[in-house]
């Protein structure tokens, strides 16, 4: 069996190598006409503005989400009370009604509701 951490590391290295190969291949290509380069600059400015705005929003939202998640997690911690095992109530059938060698088992549903495991 392979180690999952090793697998993740190998896949990450393959992804980095593939990305660097594709980047080099694209940068070696012809940049295009003057009009194409102008449009490229506009796209670069637009994406830069978009990413800056996203970063500002994330920086404002992340601390609040962390506080909410941590406070919710604190409330959801299980208590250290001892839980009784769920046991079936066994009812013997009469000699005349016996259809099997084992007694009939009737699970008490009230105990199941209160003793969730």
Tell which residue, 79, 86, 90, has the closest CA to residue 114.
86
Tokens matching residue 110: 């009230």
Taking the model in full, what pTM does it have?
0.42
- DSSP per position, 48-116: HHHHHHHHHHHHHHHHHHHHHHHHHHHHTPPP-PPPPPP-PEEEPPPTTT--SSSPEEE--HHHHHH--
28-61 pLDDT tens trace: 999 899 999 999 999 999 999 999 999 999 999 9
Q: What is the DSSP string of 28-42?
A: HS----HHHHHHHHH
Q: Is the pLDDT of residue 113 over 90?
A: no
Q: What is the pLDDT of residue 46?
A: 96
Contact 106, 91 (CB under 8 A): yes
């Amino acid at each position: 069996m392979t180690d999952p951490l090793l697998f993740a590391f190998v896949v990450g290295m393959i992804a980095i190598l593939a990305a660097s190969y594709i980047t080099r291949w694209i940068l070696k290509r012809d940049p295009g006409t003057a009009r194409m380069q102008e449009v490229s600059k506009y796209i670069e400015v637009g994406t830069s503005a978009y990413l800056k705005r996203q970063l500002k929003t994330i920086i404002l939202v992340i601390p609040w989400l962390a506080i909410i998640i941590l406070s919710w997690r604190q409330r959801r911690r299980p208590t250290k009370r001892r839980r009784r095992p769920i046991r079936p109530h066994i009812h013997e059938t009469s000699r005349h009604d016996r259809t099997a060698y084992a007694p009939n088992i009737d699970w008490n549903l009230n105990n199941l509701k209160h003793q969730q495991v």
